[in-house]
Amino acid sequence: MKALRKLASGAGHLELVDVPDPRAVPGHVVLAVKAAGVCGTDIHILHDEFPTIPPVTLGHEVAGEVVEVGSGISDWSVGDRVVTETYYGVCLQCEYCRAGYSNLCAQRRSIGSKVDGGFAEYLEVPGRLLHRIPDSLSWETAALTEPLACTVHALNQVRIHPGDWVVVSGPGPMGLLALQVARAAGGRVIALGLTQDTKRLEVATQLGAHKTFNVEVLGSQQAIAEVTALTNGGAHVVLECAGAGPSADLLLQVVRKRGAYGQIGLYGKPVPIDVDTICYKELSVSGTNASIPEAWPRALELLQLGLVKSEAIISGTWSLQQWQDAFAKVQEKGALKVLMAP
């Protein structure tokens, strides 16, 4: 089969190559991959900015059909439509695994970085990772389950209440998912972006943002003044989805005292922020690392109920042979969520 693989450490070294079809070992299944999302993590892997164990097939946002079932599996059958969690290997014994936080297991090995992922025709994963796709959801929509589960986990940390003002900085795919989950919780959402995000801010409005601001056009101080006035003294919750230092600094200024700051975006390097503000405002600060198992059923339910709409976020589907163009679209921010259909 064809697979997009990181063949060696260092920047680049991504190639579409032929590899043997996987087989289902006991307790595992093989999926025919129907749709797989390109994540910012995949771009970081391309540039050797995220740890991998090469050679390894990329791709961790996967929807597929069960085509082979290993021994010891009774919950799944050939033909089932499923999405898969990403944690191929965890110890299941540490305090984090036992508490439901397998994302923090020191022995965690995830598909797409440490073991083979879904940018391939077939994918082999443990049966314990699967969740059934509701009949009403397309393959493409189902492929959003993984990033949406990450978003659900992140917003569970900040606990939005009906009527809360929520500021989302960074209207990329994660920011637009966060916007919708915040609205589903009853929040009134303000989206912030830059000039390069103009079209994305328009999508934010389509998805129910109460107001959007182009920080680059307004200038940071004017943007802070506008948001503070609109929210009558500051937002109850701010969500940093841009992974940019100036974005974090601005959010610390627009969040109200005793508000909540949620970090969703990754920076890839240390950034300077005024940590004293956390003390002076008595802020609750949280960060999240991917998803936890209980977030997956909630993510699928949000999609099934139409509380999170996929159409405005999915920019299109590319074949594996078109992977270079797909990756370029993501890097140039010429698209929102890019999918590949092996």
Cα 339 to Cα 137, 186, 335, distances in angstroms: 15, 30, 10
Mean pLDDT of the chain: 96
Let me know: does 68 contact 117? Beta carbons within 8 Å. Answer: no
Of 147, 143, 119, residue with least CA distance to 6:
119
Judge whether residue 332 has pLDDT over 90. Answer: no
Residue 38 DSSP code:
-
Judge whether residue 269 has pLDDT over 90. Answer: no
Q: What is the pLDDT of residues 100-140, one digit of tens each?
A: 999 999 999 999 999 999 999 999 999 999 999 999 999 99
Could you give the CA distance from residue 285 to residue 253 in angstroms, rounded to a whole number?
Answer: 14
Q: Where are the domains of the chain?
A: 2-144+313-340, 156-287
Judge whether residue 266 has pLDDT over 90. Answer: no
Q: Whats the size of the chain, residue-wise?
A: 342
Of 141, 164, 177, residue with least CA distance to 61:
141
Percent over 90 (pLDDT), the chain: 95
Cα 10 to Cα 21, 40, 57, 324, distances in angstroms: 26, 17, 15, 17
Let me know: does 318 contact 326? Beta carbons within 8 Å. Answer: yes
Sequence-separated contacts (24+) of 217-223 with Cβ below 8 Å: 220/246, 220/250, 223/192, 223/250
Task: Give the end-to-end CA distance of the chain in Å, rounded to a whole number.
Answer: 10
pLDDT score recorded for residue 25: 96
Sheet holding 284-287, edge to edge: 211-214, 188-193, 165-169, 235-240, 255-263, 284-287
Q: What is the three-class DSSP state of 121?
A: coil
pLDDT score recorded for residue 267: 85
pLDDT score recorded for residue 342: 87
List the beta strands (DSSP E) in the chain.
2-6, 14-18, 28-37, 56-57, 61-69, 81-84, 87-89, 109-110, 122-126, 130-132, 165-169, 188-193, 211-214, 235-240, 255-263, 284-287, 314-318, 337-340
Q: Quick count: other Cβ atoms within 10 Å of Cβ 60?
A: 25
Percent over 70 (pLDDT), the chain: 100
Q: What is the pLDDT of residues 8-53, one digit of tens each?
A: 999 999 999 999 999 999 999 999 999 999 999 999 999 998 999 9
Q: pTM, whole model, 2 decimals?
A: 0.96
| CATH code for the domain defined by 156-287 | 3.40.50.720
Let me know: does 176 contact 153? Beta carbons within 8 Å. Answer: no
CATH superfamily, region 2-144+313-340: Medium-chain alcohol dehydrogenases, catalytic domain (3.90.180.10)
Q: What is the pLDDT of residues 69-97, one digit of tens each?
A: 999 999 999 999 999 999 999 999 999 99
333 pLDDT band, cuts 50/70/90, is confident
